[in-house]
C-alpha cells in the first residue's frame, strides 16, 4: 500500500483495550495493512460532537468495533451515524465472538470478523 489511509475507529469506551489491540496490530510489520488512527482516545468535555465530526471528515473511512457494549454506547452510535451522514465508507467489525447484532446506525454497511484479509480489503478500498 503506497499511502497510509486515515481511519476513524468508533468504539464503546468499555472496549478501549480491544481498540488498542486493533490499532496496535496495524503497526506490526507482518500485518498486510496500515492506517492512521483518528479515534478519540479520551472523551471531550465540551463541543465533542463538533470535534469528532471534524476527525471523521478528515478520515478516509470509519471502522466500528461492535460488541455487546455497543447498544448502550451513545457516543459510538453517534459517531457511526455521523460517518454515515458524512458519506464515509463504514465497516463494522465483530469483536465479541458471541455477539452479532448489527447497530441500525450502520445501515447497509457490512459487518465482518476481525481478520487481516477483511480489514485489508476495507483499508485498501477507501
- For the ranges 14-18, 26-30, 58-62, the lowest mean pLDDT is seen at 26-30
Decide if pLDDT at 112 tops 60. yes
Rounded to 5°, the CA angle 122-18-2 comes to: 30
Q: At 33, is the pLDDT very low, low, confident or very high (cuts 50, 70, 90)?
A: confident
pLDDT exceeds 70 at position 2: no
**Cα(48)–Cα(63) distance, integer angstroms:** 19
Cα–Cα distance for residue pair 6/61, rounded to 1 Å: 7
Fold of 5-125: Rossmann fold (3.40.50)
- pTM value is 0.90
Tell me what pLDDT residue 1 has.
47
> Which tens digit of pLDDT belongs to each residue from 55-105?
999 999 999 999 999 999 999 999 999 999 999 999 999 999 999 999 999
Q: What is the pLDDT of residue 14?
A: 94
CA distance 17 to 6: 20
Beta bridge partners of 90: 62
Residue 4, pLDDT score = 80
Backbone angles phi, psi at 97, to 5 degrees: -60, -20
Q: Taking residues 1-11, report their average pLDDT.
A: 81
What's the CA gap between 26 and 35, in Å, rounded?
A: 7
pLDDT band at 49 (very low <50, low <70, confident <90, very high): confident
Domain positions in the chain: 5-125
Name the helix (H) or strand (E) containing 41.
none
Mean pLDDT of the chain: 89
Amino acid at each position: 500500500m503506497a499511502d497510509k489511509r486515515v481511519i476513524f475507529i468508533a468504539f464503546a469506551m468499555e472496549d478501549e483495550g480491544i481498540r488498542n489491540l486493533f490499532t496496535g496490530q496495524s503497526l506490526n510489520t507482518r500485518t498486510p495493512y496500515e492506517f492512521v488512527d483518528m479515534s478519540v482516545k479520551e472523551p471531550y468535555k465540551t463541543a465533542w460532537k463538533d470535534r469528532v465530526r471534524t476527525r471523521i471528515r478528515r478520515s478516509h473511512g470509519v471502522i466500528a468495533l461492535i460488541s455487546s457494549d455497543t447498544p448502550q454506547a451513545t457516543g459510538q452510535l453517534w459517531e457511526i451515524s455521523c460517518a454515515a451522514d458524512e458519506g464515509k465508507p463504514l465497516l463494522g467489525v465483530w469483536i465479541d465472538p458471541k455477539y452479532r447484532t448489527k447497530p441500525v446506525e450502520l445501515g447497509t454497511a457490512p459487518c465482518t470478523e476481525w481478520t487481516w484479509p477483511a480489514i485489508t480489503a476495507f483499508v485498501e478500498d477507501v
